[in-house]
Amino acid sequence: MFGLGYGGFTAACCIASEGHSVVGADASDVKIADIARGVAPFEEPGLQELMKTALDANLLSATKSVSEALVGTDLAIVCVGTPSGPNGAHDMRYIADVTRQIAQALLEMPGTSLTVSYRSTMRPGTIARLISPIFRSIVGADWESRVDLVYNPEFLREATAIADYFNPPKIVIGTRTGEPSAVMDKLHENIEASVFYTGFEEAELTKFVDNSWHAVKVAFANEVGRVCEKLGISATKVHEILVSDTKLNISSYYTRPGGAFGGSCLPKDVRALNFIASDVNAQTHLLDSLLRSNEAHKNHQFENALKRLPAGGGKVLMAGLAFKADTDDLRESPNVDLARKFLEAGYELRVFDPKLEPARLRGQNLGYVYSALPTIDELLIDKAEAEAGDWDLVVVNNATGKLLDLTNRAVYATHSIV
């Protein structure tokens, strides 16, 4: 498993739990050290226990060495980050770098063949026009006899990632011919889900379409919720009617007015699909408006909070800073933006989020929160202090609020129906 972030390491532990021997490879010395001493590199419900079981059975290890990771390997899974670049397109440097390293290691291992599966979200055509040429240039003209490329997007949600791995909504396998991959079928043989075999580009586009659709549903529902609020109409009743139509409105997921979308997937993938659409002159005006609509909703919720506070100042407790409760992922969390707005407006702010330990944050997660909230270490408080504080308003962003006794408190829940 190349890349031991939220998706990669969780999948590595799930795969090991099925009896496969898994070696994780990552450039981070801290992550490798954490795993070696039996500490999960981030918070995810059930992950620590799953990791311990795999380590005790000698089915899981971690290394910085690509060559070491590939010895005796049947399948290499690439799950490195593809963050947003300056123009909104995905930054593909990590994909290119790990591909070069795998290709170079294969070159130095004569007679070795390998299935290389990519799970990172990336633009359609990436395998054909970036990854394949790298293997060809390093391994040689006969590279396809030694390397079987696959694109297999992941559909893991933070806070439910382990359950999602074993019960995915679907399995998508993209290959050069669109035919099944025996190695990938072996990997998924104990998982019951609809399996779609496609060419590379259909599989590559799947994650963009899924995440952009989820983003559309969230933004659409919040716009309707704001209109309802302005007109004095019950958004709860409108939502009840909307989701009752499972024949035409598909499902109730992501259609309930509430918090802004955020996290590590939706914002960056919407940006990247906007770039792709612009690049091919597809004129996707709704998609172009999604991030602006989401920012408008963040401002709307901040303004709603201000209505509940004394003018010019006050004491605010925020319950939940991470994008989802029970995780410590702060990347593009709308709750981080909300916290920054309170501080910039001159309010005294404290944050209760028991899963969040700044010293354990890594990579983009670490950089994002300290660029947005450089005083994060001073903002965090424990449960006793949170419940004892004299707050003018408690802003509950997710299920973290359920851990507190908020009796007789002024509460504004950003994640509930408007």
Residues involved in catalysis: 265
Side-chain-side CA neighbours of residue 269 (13 Å)? 25
Tokens linked to 226: 């704001």
Rounded-to-integer distance, Cα 401 and Cα 325, Å: 9
**Amino acid (1-letter code) at residue 214:** H
> How many of the other CB atoms lie within 10 Å of CB of 229?
15
Going from the C-alpha of 117 to that of each of 1, 80, 151, 175, 203, the distances in angstroms are 10, 12, 6, 9, 12
Side-chain-side CA neighbours of residue 162 (13 Å)? 16
Rounded-to-integer distance, Cα 15 and Cα 156, Å: 14
Instruction: For residue 344, count CB atoms less than 10 angstroms from its CB and return exposed for 0-12, middle for 13-18, buried for 19 or more.
Output: exposed
CB proximity list for 179: less than 8 A, separation 6 or greater: 197
Tokens linked to 26: 């990552």
Identify any residues that bridge with 196 across adjacent strands, giving them in sequence order.
Answer: 172
Rg (CA), the chain: 23
Coil, helix or strand for 396?
Answer: strand
Rounded-to-integer distance, Cα 309 and Cα 411, Å: 11
